[in-house]
Amino acid sequence: MHRQYRERGMPANVQPVTGDAAALPFADGAFDAAVSTMTFHESTTEEGLRDLYRVLADDAPFVAVDWSGAGRGESGPPRSERFDAAEARSLLSAAGFEVETATERSETFFVRTTSRY
């Protein structure tokens, strides 16, 4: 992915990082926000969400949009690999996030949270 991003014109202020989602190589509170688009199903674990919470600043938003397990279409990853909005809400709440919105859409879900210390 790093190579593809570079080939497409990576901005000079972007530094790609490879790491373990459960042990992110960043300081506590290092980020003002985080976004996951169509990847929540790929790497979400309890440990990873707790570490994401750790690296977000106080009151930092986290937004996730992904294929929903409640979707009925054939696009996207296998349903067995997906979460629905309620499952995402539960996982994020358990990791410490305050879930402000968790909405099902026709094929995807949308979740917005805030980190609280």
Does the residue 36 lie in any domain? Answer: yes
| CA distances from residue 40 to 21, 58, 107, 117 in whole angstroms, order as listed | 11, 22, 14, 23
CB atoms within 10 A of CB 73: 10
Q: Where are the beta strands (DSSP E) in the chain?
A: 34-37, 61-67, 98-104, 108-114
User: pTM for the complete prediction?
Assistant: 0.88
Domain residues for the domain of 49 are 31-114
Query: pLDDT in tens for each of the 117 residues of the chain?
Result: 889 888 999 999 988 998 898 999 999 999 999 999 999 999 899 999 999 999 999 999 999 999 999 988 888 999 899 999 999 999 999 999 999 999 999 899 999 999 875
Instruction: Give me the CATH number covering residue 80.
Output: 3.40.50.150
Tally of structural domains, the chain: 1
Short-list 50, 81, 51, CA closest to 66? 81
Does the residue 67 lie in any domain? Answer: yes
Rounded distance between C-alpha atoms, residue 3 and residue 98, angstroms:
35
